[in-house]
Amino acid sequence: MTNLATAQKLAPSNLQLPVSAYFDVDLYQREIELLFKQGPGYVGHDLMVPEIGSYRTLAAENEGRILVRNEAGVELLSNVCRHRQALMLNGSGKTENIVCPLHRWTYDLNGDLLGAPHFEDKPCLNLGKSPLQNWQGLLFEGPRDVRPILPSWVLQMISSLMAICSITLRCTTATTTGKHLSRFTSRTTMSFHFILA
Ligand code: FES
């Protein structure tokens, strides 16, 4: 019988990464290239830009890109002006065109340059654009088609959540009234409907 109290008698586990893996810059770069850039990258929800002309900058990217709704749907555009690289929009709001605050270069809601004051010929410089996939309102970028993988992924997530909720409900039965429990259950169910709608 193994004496668990004696650490030296336990065989080293092969399942754990060596500590150096967590500080390996090359490994980190490979993870970025092979995992994160190839997988579906969640950008936001289309309700973040509810009307034509609505925009919202991506705070996680220091506002380098913006979600914009135009006639065709939601676009993910660069928020960096093609003239001298100024950031153009902040936060969220509504606009007819995207106008750079520095020298007033003006882009339409597709990111196409409409006008460049003081330039005789309009430069052919439109805003960079990243293709988006819309799945049930959730917006993703990246090379991978999200539609075949997301439904099973969401179902897995829901079953995990259900397991957690069931444990939580059981744990709270002793201390929570039935009224609180039913409110918790209906809220959870509503959230699931929202995800699947
Ligand atoms: S930097 Fe935007 S117009 Fe000059």
Average pLDDT across each block of 10 residues of the chain; the chain has 197 residues. List them in order. 61 77 94 84 93 96 97 97 96 97 96 92 92 91 83 72 62 45 42 41
Q: What is the pLDDT of residue 1?
A: 56
**Span 41-141 CATH architecture:** 3-layer Sandwich (2.102)
Contact between 30 and 68 under an 8 Å Cβ cutoff? The reply is no
- Name 23's Cβ contacts closer than 8 Å, sequence gap at least 6: none
Q: What is the pLDDT of residue 16?
A: 80
Return the residue matching tokens 């039913």.
182
Is residue 189 classed as helix, strand or coil in its secondary structure? helix
Q: Structural domain boundaries of the chain?
A: 41-141, 150-196
Residue closest via CA to ligand 1's atom 3 equals 103
Q: What is the pLDDT of residue 11?
A: 65
| Residues 126, 105: Cα–Cα separation, whole Å | 11
- Name 171's Cβ contacts closer than 8 Å, sequence gap at least 6: none
CA 87 to ligand 1 center in whole angstroms: 9
CA 50 to ligand 1 center in whole angstroms: 28
Does the pTM of the predicted model rise above 0.95? no
Long-range own/partner contacts, residues 66-74 (CB < 8 A, 24 or more apart):
66/98, 67/43, 67/139, 68/98, 68/109, 68/111, 69/109, 70/108, 70/109, 70/110, 71/109, 72/110, 73/46, 73/134, 74/46, 74/49, 74/132, 74/134, 74/139
By most ligand atoms within 8 Å of CB, the mutation choice from 79, 80, 84 for ligand 1 is 84
Q: What is the pLDDT of residue 4?
A: 60
